Amino acid sequence: MDKFSILLLNISQKLNERELASLKFLCHTKIVKKKMEQITSPLHLFTNLKELTEISEDDLSVLISLLTAINRNDLAEEVELFQGPQPKEEAKERDQLDEAFDIICDNVSKEWRRLIRKLGLSETVINQVIYANQNNLREQLMQCLLEWRRIKKGSATVSALVEALEDCKLRLVAEILTDAINLSHGTS
């Protein structure tokens, strides 16, 4: 049996109707409206995303982002475990970005959209994240940062975050971030 198909089946069985509706909303730019209206289960949605090569056994970043956006971090972690261990350097950069994201979420409030725009996320993506995380400003910012990392892949770095913070006149946050990451390097 195909392990990837088993993974998608297991994930789909753990999603409820409200979560399916949220996933469909997040995918409205990927799947045409007529097809979207015919989707009645998470498994059907995943099948469509596979056909569009949005998700594949080799690239599960879209699936992870979708599950994270609907606050199903447990399922996103399950998918990450399926992917297997990442190379050490990649894992280290990911850990640094995770730490940077927490620092930014703790220290940026009103200017968060400006920062996200500076990082290159579209209004459509920003609005999708806001819709999926209504009334939770910190989670909106976190999900946008995660989406930025997914889209930019290797160019999503701590230094790119620092540069964007400085461009947005958020120098204090940039300094806090730089100091924290340097401290992390020193204790490794």
- Give 80-122 pLDDT, tens digit per residue: 888 766 555 566 777 888 899 999 999 998 889 999 999 999 8
pLDDT computed for residue 57 by the predictor: 84
Residue 47 DSSP one-character state:
H
Average pLDDT, the chain: 87
Same domain, 121 and 48: no
The rounded distance, in Å, linking the Cα atoms of 161 and 47 is 35
Same domain, 94 and 178: yes
| CATH number of domain containing 112 | 1.10.533.10
**Lowest mean pLDDT across 7-11, 155-159, 160-164:** 155-159
pLDDT computed for residue 152 by the predictor: 82
Same domain, 164 and 129: yes
pLDDT digits (tens, 9 = 90+) for 112-148: 999 999 999 989 889 988 888 888 899 899 999 988 9
Q: CA distances (Å), 131 to each of 73, 116, 138, in order?
A: 17, 16, 13
pLDDT at 182 over 80: no
CA of residue 129 relative to chain centroid, distance = 9
Residue 133 DSSP one-character state:
T
Three-class secondary structure of residue 31 per DSSP = coil
The rounded distance, in Å, linking the Cα atoms of 165 and 149 is 16
pLDDT at 183 over 70: no
Helices first, then strands: H and E counts in the chain: 12, 0
Helix (H) or strand (E) holding 91: helix 88-107
Q: Which domain holds residue 142?
A: 88-187
Rg (CA), the chain: 17
